[in-house]
Structure formats: C-alpha cells, structure tokens
C-alpha cells in the first residue's frame, strides 16, 4: 500500500513565524501535491511537483513556497504565517504519466492554526 | 465557471438504504477521468472509484457505483446498503488529460453524508 506521511497532525504557530510542513511518500511516485482544505471550498491546490527540484504553482500559491530536494519528500513553507492560513493541509502523491486512472494518494492531513 | 459542482452540502440516509451523491462537471477536453474520494472525520482522503471518459460501462467497486451520464456531464456516486461507517465527506474530482498538467485534480466542494439508524 502507498504510504503518504505528514509530519504533524496538529500544529499551532504564531503570526509571522516561518512554518514548515513536511510530507514523505514511500512508493517512488514522481508527482507530489499540496492542498489546503477549507469548509465550503473543497480542496484547493497550492503547489505541485513532478520531479526533484521541479515545482509548479497551483491555484492558490500566494504566501506559500515549496521544496523538493529528494523524490520522496515534499515540503510546504509558509514564509511568514498569517491567520488566514489557518486551515487543513493535505499532501498527496501519484505516478506520473498519461494514464488518467491513476489516483492521488493522500496523507492524513495537518490541521494548522495560526494565532 | 466551476469545473466540478456538488450541489448537496449535506445528505441523510437511513442505514441499509441506497443514496446518490450528485456531481456535475465542466470540461471541453474529450479525455478526462472522474474520481470519488471519501474523507472520514479523522481527515484522511480515501480513493473510492474511478470513471474514464471513454469507458463504456459505469464503474463499480463493491457497494460503490458511478452513474456516469456523459451527455449530461454528470458522475453521481451511488452507495448501496449504507452503513454507519459510510458517514463522511465525499468529494468528486476530475483530471483533464489534454489540457494543462495531466496529473492535476480539480475537486468539488464536497457532500457530507450522515447515515442514521
């Protein structure tokens, strides 16, 4: 089974702090994704990566950056956390390729609160 | 325009009954895939079922089936014989193969299903 592991289930940080959310997958997937989930808005894509050191902006990249130095690890960085970044953050991974039936596999999520 | 629309914020169903969760989509790409995910209160997203745009038959996985009506651009999830453990948020998602990045999923806003005794 694919395992996607997010470093924290719950995290509380202060406004202005630099925050790192870590995600590791063990299935050698090329693609990795970061989403945020807010009530009534569903999942929105922040950034994704299709290879080491490669990244592309998703739908809501403002206020975030990412890092992918190793294939199995994808980090989401909040450079200067703000209260409107309080949310549930979900990491996912998938195989690269044109096969449309490849699902994304998700971690358990990190509930981040910015005070 | 929303690419994925789930018009039911919340649904109730009695145990052992069937329930249909609605999903409509909007795309001009002839090649796409549709996914349903379940998210229990614990937070993890669980992949349930997939339907490809060229698939001739509706997808089924155990108690889950997908009522795919291509002309109407709808991909409703049907859960048969509901169980208390089916209480969760359900998300519909779409991948467009030829437009943009093939691996990207677009999600709907979700439907919260509550199964009652």
DSSP per residue, A9-66: SEEEE-TT--EEEEEEESS--SEEEEEEEETTTEEEEEEEEEETTEEEE-S--TTEEE
Neighbours of A50 (CB within 10 A): 19
| Residue B78 pLDDT exceeds 80 | yes
For A82-107, the pLDDT digits (tens) are 999 999 999 999 988 656 788 899 99
For B59, counting Cβ atoms within 10 Å of its Cβ (0-12 exposed, 13-18 middle, 19+ buried), the class is buried
Find chain B residues with C-beta within 8 A of A44's C-beta: 107
User: CB of A109 within 8 A of CB of B43?
Assistant: yes
Find chain B residues with C-beta within 8 A of A42's C-beta: 4, 6, 91, 107-110
Confidence tier at B39 by pLDDT (50, 70, 90): very high
- Is A42–B9 a contact, with Cβ atoms under 8 angstroms apart? no
Q: For residue A36, what is the nearest residue in chain B, using CA coordinates?
A: B107
Q: What is the pLDDT at residue B97?
A: 83
User: Among A74-78, B7-11, B95-99, which stretch is predicted with the lowest mean pLDDT?
Assistant: B95-99
CA distance B46 to B57: 23
């Amino acid at each position: 089974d694919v395992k996607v592991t997010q470093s924290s289930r719950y995290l509380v940080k202060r406004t202005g702090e630099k925050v790192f959310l870590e995600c590791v997958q063990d299935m050698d997937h090329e693609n990795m994704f970061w989403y945020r989930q807010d009530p009534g808005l569903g999942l929105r894509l922040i950034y994704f990566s299709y290879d080491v050191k490669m990244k592309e902006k998703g739908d809501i990249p403002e206020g975030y950056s990412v890092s992918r130095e190793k294939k199995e690890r994808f980090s989401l960085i909040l450079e200067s956390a703000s209260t409107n970044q309080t949310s549930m953050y979900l990491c996912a991974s998938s195989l690269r390729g044109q096969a449309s039936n490849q699902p994304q596999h998700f971690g358990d999520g990190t509930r981040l609160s910015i005070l | 325009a929303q690419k994925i629309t789930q018009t039911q914020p919340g649904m109730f169903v009695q145990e052992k009954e069937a329930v249909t969760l609605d999903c409509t989509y909007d795309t001009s790409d002839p090649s796409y895939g549709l996914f349903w995910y379940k998210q229990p209160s614990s937070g993890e997203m669980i992949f349930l079922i997939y339907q490809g745009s060229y698939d001739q038959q509706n997808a089924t996985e155990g108690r889950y089936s997908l009522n795919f009506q291509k002309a109407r651009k709808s991909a409703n999830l049907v859960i048969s014989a509901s169980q208390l453990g089916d209480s969760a948020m359900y998300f519909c998602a779409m991948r467009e193969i030829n437009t943009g990045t093939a691996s990207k999923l677009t999600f709907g806003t979700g439907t919260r299903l509550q199964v009652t005794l």
